[in-house]
Amino acid sequence: MSIVSVRAALQSKLDGMTALATVWENVDYTPVNGTPYQAAYVMPATPDNPTLGDDYYQEQGIFQISLFYPLQNGTAAAEARAQLIRTTFKRGTSMTSGSVTVRVDKTPEIGAGRVDGDRWHIPVRVRWFAGIT
């Protein structure tokens, strides 16, 4: 159940930001022409086992928020949203769901923008970990 709690903590933090339509994994969504949206993905990595002789381990991974903005409107709005995500999930941020606390251990990465269909796409990657016992 740890990854379920990790997902809930990350999604709740993103959902608490200023309104922007969000595409959650495995949920149907039809983009509205001319309207920006974001898509969120929890991408678990190989768990870390920093100790021996106990049941403790660390879930870790990336929470990627892909921003999709209409083309031909410049980059300012998308970059401002990317910066807001970076600020909201700044290094040291912690979020809890159930008994699991998720921590951001690095400053979020804002990737290079590119054309994706009829949108300008900027990925933002939040690296996280959660200690599980």
For the chain, domain boundaries: 2-132
CATH code of the domain occupying 2-132: 3.30.2000.20
CB burial of 28-50 (b: ≥16 within 10 Å; e: otherwise) equals: eeebeeeebbbbbbbeeeeeeee
Cα dihedral across residues 19, 23, 29, 31: positive or negative = positive
Cα dihedral 91→4→116→36 (10° resolution): -80
The reported pLDDT for the residue numbered 57 is: 92
User: pLDDT for 36-85, tens place per residue?
Assistant: 999 999 999 999 998 888 889 999 999 999 999 999 999 999 999 999 99
Mean pLDDT, the chain, integer: 95
